[in-house]
Amino acid sequence: MVAAQVSINNLSLVIHNKQILSDISFSVLPGQFIGLIGPNGAGKSSLLRCLYRYQTPQAGNIQIDEKEISQFSRQTYAKKVAAVLQEIPSQFNLAVFDVVAMGLTPHKRLFSSVSLRDRQAIQEALKKVGLAHKYQQPYESLSGGEKQRVMIARAIVQRPSLLLMDEPTSHLDVKYQIEIMALAKSLGITVIASFHDLNLASALCDSIIVLNEGSLVANGAPKNVVTTNMLLEVFGVKAEVILQTSPHGASVPYIRYQYQLTVMDLNDQASRGRECE
Amino acid sequence: MRVAASSVLVLACLFSFISALSIGAINVDFYDVWLALWSYDNTQLTQKIIIELRLPRTVLAFLAGAGLATAGLILQTVTRNPLADPYLFGISSGASFGVVLLITLFGMQSGLAMSGAALLGSICAMSLLLLIAYHKGTAQIENMLLAGVALSFLFNAFTSLLLYWSDPQAITAIIFWSLGSFSRADWAWIWLPSAVVILGILSVICFRRHLNALLLGDESAVTLGVNVHKLRLGMLLVSSLLTAVLVAACGGVGFVGLMIPHIVRFFISQARVLGMLATALSGGLFMLWVDVLARSLIDNQELPIGVITAAIGSVFFLSLLMFKKRSTSI
């Protein structure tokens, strides 16, 4: 029996008197690739924020390597956990190399400079994401997909054992969505990533966690979680789920949405939404 | 490339220092400047002019440029706003208010008292700003910028009100002060701006990784292990201290803090130590030559520093706009 790398117990988060997350518990084994899915506002980003310690939960706890995460120093924690977030526009001239070098921050003392070994690590990370030739270019001149690959290179340099990704591909073309996620999977470390594209999540993840209105509603292998019922209840869409066999022999659910949503349905949803309030 | 850029900067600094010492109402040749620097003979008038008058003035000009450029770099980084500058946060308005209050209430116009009043005024403005911005524990960048602009208007209103009531002589003194000048430079107190500027530059270099991490967002910086709130507060304090001391020493010198980091960023990625040093050195160089211009453009008269920097600064911004338009249209 392998000990869980991440375990979350009865986590609750309240911001401005609004319950964002309620009573969430799950655990992640080392090396697993976990997908977080759920409609907008379900709490995916907030859950990840609690994990990278940007927000402090009011109740419950998160343990990494069997230690409460608030007990780690900032630096130690940053050596364990890296994050690739949604893209933030920057109006400053930063070279690609320098953005990747930011990953060294938790490993460096205040006055120390970038050593030859660091330099090699940065070059290797850039090679891994296929951007070695662009290391001198301004970060802002890159395309959206390239920028996120640079952020992954930064995470590689940070040498974490857990990578968190908050919808890193939400504005990207299909090709880059697949590319970025495959790249993250190829690192061989534990990954918790939130997804917009449910088919992509089903194809890549070892396990999928479904959040709805701040609660965990399902957790398990894609084929058990991604079902017609769940799609209707959580996402409010009618869809057909077909089980396909992946090249690796696993059975992967594939969603075919039904696009005959009528105005009647929208009205229906609106009235249901009012009832909930 | 890095070696070339740094050696060009260092050589430019050396050359500029010696030129600045030799150019003036009385032109002194380079050889005499050299003699004055290395074998000072205080019975010779020209050497005395160089060591007692021009050298402290040149050093102060260089310090002011370097310090304000560094303060601008810090503010632009921690607010992630390339238009932030030390004057946006009401610090210099606070300083002007302090000076005006001193002159109108006590009728004092001695250089040292004015510097002291400016320092007190700017520290007062800076504390108010931090108090307002941090009163709920954590500061939002937008709130801080708005609070700074509001404070700046508030202090300006008080200043105008006091000016309205004061006599013409006091108004002249205040206007002269607010346009900035390095003529008050004196060996007796130049250690204070030197110490503060060196402290500022060192702290920027020391925390450069943390500062750079802020450029891609607070959350991203948190995931790199940066204590965002403490860093921002500390860096705001450093830049306010820089501005306060320099405004107190030389009056209102605008545009350097905004302009120099902008120009340097065009050429060097700002994450580099070289970029940070280049910002400080270019700020110093710029101010040094502005002072030379102020002393030598018109015979027997000194132009206010603020007029020259503002003139150069506005032309710079207009050309930046044109350049940007052209580079995006290609």
In tens, the pLDDT along A25-44 reads 999 999 999 999 999 889 99
Averaged pLDDT for residues A159-184: 86
Q: The pTM is what?
A: 0.87
ipTM attached to this prediction: 0.84
Interface-testing mutation among B81, B203, B219, B223, with chain A (most A C-beta atoms within 10 A): B223
What residues in chain B have their Cβ under 8 A from chain A's Cβ atoms?
Answer: 76-77, 80, 82, 205-207, 209-210, 212-213, 215-220, 222-227, 265-266, 268-273
Work out the mean pLDDT of chain A and round it to a whole number.
Answer: 87
Q: How many helices (H) and strands (E) does chain B have?
A: 15, 0
Q: Answer yes or no: are the C-beta atoms of B307 and B322 closer than 8 Å.
A: no
Query: Which residues, other chains included, contact A191 with Cβ-Cβ below 8 Å and sequence gap of 6+?
Result: A32, A33, A34, A162, A163, A164, A165, A184, A185
Tell whether A196 lies on the interface with B, counting CB pairs under 8 A: no
CB pairs under 8 A between A and B: 87
Please name which of B127, B17, B139 lies closest in space to residue B78, comparing C-alpha atoms. Answer: B139
Has residue B328 got a pLDDT over 60?
Answer: no
In chain A, which among 31-50 make CB contacts under 8 A with chain B? 49
Amino acid at B239: S
Residue A276: per-residue pLDDT: 47
From B294's Cα to the closest Cα of chain A, the distance in A is: 33
- Is there a contact between A102 and B209 if contact means CB atoms under 8 Å apart? yes
Kindly tell me the burial class for residue B111, based on how many C-beta atoms sit within 10 Å of its own C-beta (0-12, 13-18, 19 or more).
middle
Q: For residue range B92-135, what is the model confidence (pLDDT) as tens digits?
A: 888 888 888 888 888 766 767 877 888 888 888 888 888 887 77
Q: What DSSP state is assigned to residue B190? A: T
CB contact under 8 A, B225 and A52: no
Instruction: Scan for tokens 């994450």, then name that residue.
Output: B271
- pLDDT, one tens digit per residue, over B33-58 is 888 888 777 788 888 888 888 899 99
Among chain B residues, the shortest Cα distance to A77 is held by: B225
Among 3.30.2130.10, 3.30.450.150, 3.40.50.300, 1.10.3720.10, what is the CATH number of A6-222? Answer: 3.40.50.300
Contacts of A82 in chain B (CB under 8 A): 223
For A73-102, what is the mean pLDDT? 88
Query: Is residue B313 within 8 Å of B254, Cβ to Cβ?
Result: yes
For residue B264, pLDDT over 90 is answered with no
Say how many residues make up chain B: 330
Residue B138 DSSP code: S
Handedness of CA A109, B213, B233, B252 (dihedral sign): positive
Q: Are A102 and B273 inside 8 Å of each other by CB? A: no
Tokens of B218: 């607070």
pLDDT at A167 over 90: no
pLDDT at A80: 93
Question: What is the structure's pLDDT at A39?
Answer: 92
Taking CA atoms, A148 is separated from A85, A225, A252, B4, B91, in Å, by 8, 28, 26, 33, 39
- Give the per-residue pLDDT at B330: 37
Residue B223: its chain A contacts at CB < 8 A? 52, 54, 78, 81-83, 85, 164
Report the alpha-carbon distance of residue A43 to residue A249 in Å, rounded. Answer: 33
- All structural domains of chain B, each given as residue ranges with its CATH number in brackets, are 2-324 (1.10.3470.10)
| Best CA proximity match to B17, nearest among B212, B239, B211, B285 | B285
**What does the alpha-carbon distance between residue B291 and residue B278 come to, in Å, rounded to a whole number?**
20
Is the pLDDT at B166 greater than 90? The verdict is: no
Query: For residue A138, what is the nearest residue in chain B, using CA coordinates?
Result: B269
* Interchain pair B271, A101: CB under 8 A: yes
